[in-house]
Amino acid sequence: MDLSSYHTLRVAACDLNGQMRGKRIPGSYAAKLDTGAVRMPLSALNVDVFGLDIEGSPLVFETGDADGVLRPTERGAMPIPWLDARQALVPMEMFHDDGTPFDGDPRLALKSVLARYAARGWTVQAATELEFTLIDDSGEALDAVMNPQTGRRLQSAAVLSLLHLDAFDPFFSALYDACEAMNIPAQTTTSESGVGQFEITLNHQDALKAADDTWLFKALIKGLARKFGFAATFMAKPFEEDAGNGMHMHFSVLDAAGKNVFDNGGEEGTETLHQAVAGCLAAMPASTLLFAPHANSYRRMVPGNHAPTSVCWAYENRTAAVRIPGGPYAARRIEHRVAGGDINPYLTFAGILGAAITGIEEGMSPPEPMQGNAYDLDLPQLAPDWENAIDRFEADPLMRAIFPEGLITNLVLTKRQELRLMADIPQEQHWKTYVNAV
């Protein structure tokens, strides 16, 4: 993308909560971006959901809040369709002055995991299914969105309703145009089981780009909804009595010849598939913080509420946390169904793919695939609450096999600070913190 004609640009890196942190810069900086001309405090990627510095963070108290160097990612520049002014967005990564990666950059953590696959001559292909809710956040309480055709609030869900999609057709038409402009491969859109809830699937592709596109897509949805007079949120549980928003991740692994290493020509899949599943299951309790990173996340994690809470796997069973979908054997893949829509895509991808490659490297074996309804069975469980999830993430050796020590330290400090601050806010007011942030 030619940036020479842009008067101003936006550069942004991803913080621990998945928010964009960066700057608006003159278009004249375009030729300098690769040289490290844009700098930003390292701590900017490790602030809490309120945007506050983390008390006791070594980034501030041991380094004096040193600057890092921002460099463009492989994703490249793109337009920003949700803004009226003509601007371009350049996704960035954070490095130290000597060129070493900054441990607190979530995208670099994912790249480190993918390098373990590359060392075997493998590449990871991934896709996401993202649920979000269109809402009215203009009042003191969160409310259902207005139907643009009738001017009345939505009152009920409309599962797979084309009429429901038609009511928001101008928004979704603009969304597909914006995805094309940003090179985000949006696929199917469906009306889901919540009031004003929809799901969009992004195409199966290179895992790093899939994570990039998931991150960018969340910003696009939220920004574009504002242009149409309502809001969009990926909060795990926008309304107490309604469906929550999830993010399902599908992935497969190709060898150097392009063959799917999970495919053995049969329904059961290869030993490599089973090892990857075993790794995902072994890491799942300690990874709960990645899949449910906020106070609101745990309102979704209720047994029987279409959000897996048991550590289990199965073939073609949507109550399982890890599902092996049917279809052509050559497309054999793993579907990880635990995460909420409020996640940081890079950390979630890194946690899942890091667990899978650890299972493969260590030759792990999974238990027998479950049968029936997972919610009715006595199975190991995810972390039951936010505080427990933070403690497990900090203490688990598998997390240290996946993430750098600096990222673990700062994520734990960040979440403990948020846990303390959110405890002082009435639960019915939590949405004001999360509706735009996640």
pLDDT tens for 338-376 read 999 999 999 999 999 999 999 999 999 999 999 999 999
What is the Cα–Cα distance from 314 to 324, expressed in whole angstroms? 6
pLDDT at 406: 93
Cα dihedral: 311, 317, 323, 324 (round 10):
140
pLDDT surpasses 70 at 304 = no
pLDDT tens for 239-287 read 998 999 999 999 999 999 999 999 999 999 999 999 999 999 999 999 9
61 — pLDDT class (breaks 50, 70, 90): low
What single-letter DSSP state applies at residue 239?
S
pLDDT surpasses 80 at 225 = yes
216 — pLDDT class (breaks 50, 70, 90): very high
pLDDT at 114: 98
What single-letter DSSP state applies at residue 41?
E
Indicate the range of 8-12, 34-38, 304-308, 395-399 predicted with least confidence.
304-308
Identify the CA nearest to 238 among candidates 50, 425, 386, 435: 435
SS3 of 117, please?
A: helix
For the chain, give every domain's residue range. 8-104, 114-434
What is the Cα–Cα distance from 93 to 393, expressed in whole angstroms? 24
pLDDT at 7: 87
pLDDT tens for 367-413 read 999 999 999 999 999 999 999 999 999 999 999 999 999 999 999 99
- Going by DSSP bridges, is the β-strand pair 38-41/8-14 parallel, antiparallel, or unpaired? unpaired
> What's the CATH number for 8-104?
3.10.20.70
pLDDT tens for 101-155 read 999 999 999 999 999 999 999 999 999 999 999 999 999 999 999 999 999 999 8
Q: How many CB atoms lie within 10 A of CB 11?
A: 23
What is the Cα–Cα distance from 255 to 250, expressed in whole angstroms? 17
What is the Cα–Cα distance from 380 to 152, expressed in whole angstroms? 44
Radius of gyration of the chain from Cα atoms? Answer: 21
Identify the CA nearest to 191 among candidates 170, 160, 168, 169: 160
DSSP 329-351: GGG--EEE---BTTS-HHHHHHH
pLDDT at 65: 82
Enumerate the H helices of 154-206 as residue ranges: 162-167, 169-182
What is the Cα–Cα distance from 262 to 272, expressed in whole angstroms? 6
pLDDT at 303: 72
pLDDT at 62: 66
pLDDT surpasses 90 at 60 = no
**pLDDT (average), residues 185-192:** 94
Enumerate the H helices of 168-206 as residue ranges: 169-182
| Cβ atoms 418, 425 nearer than 8 A | no
pLDDT tens for 22-50 read 999 998 888 889 888 899 999 999 999 99
Identify the CA nearest to 236 among candidates 340, 101, 324, 124: 340
| Cβ atoms 218, 18 nearer than 8 A | yes
Percentage of the chain lying above the pLDDT 90 cut: 87
Nearby residues of 307 by Cβ (< 8 Å), 6 or more positions away: 244, 246, 300, 301, 338, 340
Identify the CA nearest to 15 among candidates 53, 50, 57, 44: 44
pLDDT surpasses 90 at 290 = yes
Between vectors from CA 87 to CA 82 and to CA 89, what angle results, nearest 5°? Answer: 85
Give the mean pLDDT of the chain.
95
SS3 of 7, please?
A: coil
What is the Cα–Cα distance from 149 to 71, expressed in whole angstroms? 45
What is the Cα–Cα distance from 235 to 296, expressed in whole angstroms? 7
> What's the CATH number for 114-434?
3.30.590.10
pLDDT at 164: 87
